[in-house]
Amino acid sequence: MSLSEKAGKFVLAVGLVSVVASLSFFLVGMIGAGEELSTLSFGDFGKLWLGYIPVMIPFISVAGLVAMPISALLVKVGLANWLAFALVGAIVGAVFTTLLFASFALSSNIPVWASVGVLPGVTAGLFWWQTVVRPERAERGLAA
C-alpha cells in the first residue's frame, strides 16, 4: 500500500474516530455531571454530540500519529490480528485520554476519564487493522 493510500486511510480514521470520541466524551461528560440523558430531546442530543466533533479532530490526529509506531511494532513482532489491534487501541485510548484530561482525572475519577478513550481507541485500532494491516498482509501472502 502506498504512502498516499495510507494517508487517505489516516484521514478517514481521524474522521470516524472523531465521531466516536465525540460521543464517548459527551456521554461520559453528561453522566459524570449528573445529567440524565433522558432530559435531552433527540435534536439537542444530536447538536451537542455533533458539536464536539470538530473539537476532537486535533486530539484524534495527535493520538493517531502517536499510534502509528505502535501499529508498526505490533506488525513487526507478529501481533497483526484484529484482537491485538483492538486491545492495544483500547489501552492507548485510555492512556491518551487520562493524560489529556489529567487535571480532571486526578481530581475526580481516573477510570472514568480513562474510559472516555476506550471506545475510540478500539474503533481506531480495528479500522486501521481492517483497512491497512490486513490488506498489506494479504498482498504479501500472509494470513490475516
Question: pLDDT tens across 85-102, in order?
Answer: 999 999 999 998 888 877
Task: Determine the pLDDT at residue 109.
Answer: 74
The domain spans of the chain are 3-139
pTM for the full predicted model: 0.85
DSSP 11-60: HHHHHHHHHHHHHHHHHHHHHHTT--GGGS-HHHHHHHHHHHHHHHHHHH
Q: What pLDDT does 82 receive? A: 95
Q: Per-residue pLDDT for 56 more than 70?
A: yes
Helix (H) or strand (E) holding 65, with range, is helix 42-76
CB 131 within 8 A of CB 12: yes
State percent of the chain over pLDDT 90: 49
Cell 501499529 belongs to: 71
